[in-house]
Amino acid sequence: MPYARFLRENARWLAGGMLLTLFSSFGQTFYIALSSGGIRTELGLGHGDFGWLYMWATLASAAAIPVAGRLADTMRVDRYATLVIAGLAGSMLLLTRAGSPVALFVAIAGLRLFGQGLMSHVAMTAMGRWFSVNRGKAVSAAALGHQIGESVMPISFVAVAAVVGWRGSWMVNAAFILLLVLPTVYMLMRVPRVPRAAETLLESAGRQWTRGEALRDPLFWMLMSGVLAPPVIGTTVFFHQVYLTELRGWALGQFAGSTPVLSMFAIVATLLAGMVVDRFHSAVLLPVMLVCVAVANLVVAFVPPTWAILVYMAGMGASFGIYSTVFGALWPEMYGTRHLGAIKAAATSIMVLSTALGPGLSGWLIDAGVAFPDIIAAMGLYGAAAAVLMVAAEPLARHRAAARNQEEH
C-alpha cells in the first residue's frame, strides 16, 4: 500500500500512537535532566547523590514494568492509555511538591515508569497488535513522536521554566497532559482498529508465544544484545556530555547545538526502517543499526576536532531511528500478538534497566581512573562485535518468523 494512502486511512490510530511516544519525553532522561540543577539546589543534593537516586528510581521503574505492562494484553487500549497518562500526570504533580529525597525518588520512579516505560509501551503494543501487513509503517509513524520530542520538548521546557521556574513548568506539564493530551488520545484510540481479513488470517495462523517461552528462547537474548546498544550507549554518552566536552575542549553549545543533526537522521532512518521492515523483516536492520553505533562512537573517541560531533550525531541519530522501529516490530514478528503486551513489557523492562546501569557503571569507571574516550571506544567496539553477531542472528530470526506463520495453534 502506498505510504500516503496508508497514513490517510489509518490517521487516527497512528496519531494516537505518535502522541503517546511524543509525550513519553516527560519521562526521558534528556528531559528530566533539565531540572537537575534546581532539584539539587533546593534539596541540597550533590551530583553523586542525585545520580544514585536517579539510578535507583529508574531500577524501581524497570522492576514494575513487567507487571504493569502485561495489562496491555487484557485492557482496551484507550482505557490503558488513560491510566498511564493519569499516572504520568500524578508523578509530575508529586515532583512539583517534592521536598525530600524520598518524595523525589517516588516522583522520578513514576516519571520513568509511566513516561519512558509505559507511554511508549502502549503505543508500540497497539501498533504491533493492530497492524501486521503494514506493521513497519505503523510502528515507524508512531515512533516519530520520539524524534519530535527530542527536538522540541527541551526548548519548550526551558521557555516555560524561564517564566515560572522548574516546579511551575512541571505543573504546567501536568495540566497540559490531563486537560489536552489525555482526552485527545482517548478519542483517537477509543475505537480499536479492525485488521483487514488478510491481516487477521496472518496473525491467527502461527504459534503465539507466552512471555515465559520467549524469555527461555536463546534467540531472544541474542537479539537483545544488539537491540539494546543504541539506548544504552547513547544514554551513557549524553549523560556525561558535559565531561566529554571539557575533555575535548569543545564548547557545550557545540555538542548540544548539534542535536538537530541527530533528529534529522533519526526521522529519515525511522521512515526508511518502516518500509524495510514491511518489505523484508525487522532483524535485517540490526547489523546496519549497530554499524552506525560503532562508527559514531569510534569517531568521537579518537577524533578531537569538532567535526567528530556531527559524525556522532548523524550515526547515533540513524541508529536511534532504526531502533525505534525495530523495537516495536521485532517482537510480534517473532512471538505473535496474543501475549505481545507481556513480552514487550519484559523487553522494555530490560531496556530501562540497562539504560540505568550505563551511566552509573561508566561513572564508576571514570572515578576509578579510566579515560572516558577509552570507555566510548569500548562501546564502539561492542557495537562492531554486536553487528557481526546480528549478521549470524538475522537468518535465525527470519526463519523463526517464517516458521511461526506456518504453524497452527
Residue with cell 568521537: 300
In the chain, the domains with their CATH numbers are: 1-204 (1.20.1250.20), 207-409 (1.20.1250.20)
pLDDT score of 112: 93
pLDDT score of 204: 53
Q: Which of 297, 89, 92, 81 is nearest to 192 (CA)?
A: 81
pLDDT score of 408: 40
Q: What is the residue-level pLDDT of the chain in tens, covering all 409 positions?
A: 677 788 888 889 999 999 999 999 999 888 888 888 888 889 988 877 887 888 899 899 999 999 998 888 889 999 999 999 999 999 999 999 999 999 999 999 999 999 988 999 999 889 888 887 788 888 888 988 988 888 888 888 888 988 999 999 999 999 999 999 999 999 999 988 876 544 555 555 567 888 899 999 999 999 999 999 999 999 888 878 878 888 899 887 788 778 889 889 999 999 899 889 888 888 899 999 999 999 999 999 999 999 999 999 999 999 999 998 898 888 888 888 888 888 988 998 898 888 888 877 888 888 888 999 999 999 999 999 999 999 999 999 888 877 765 554 4
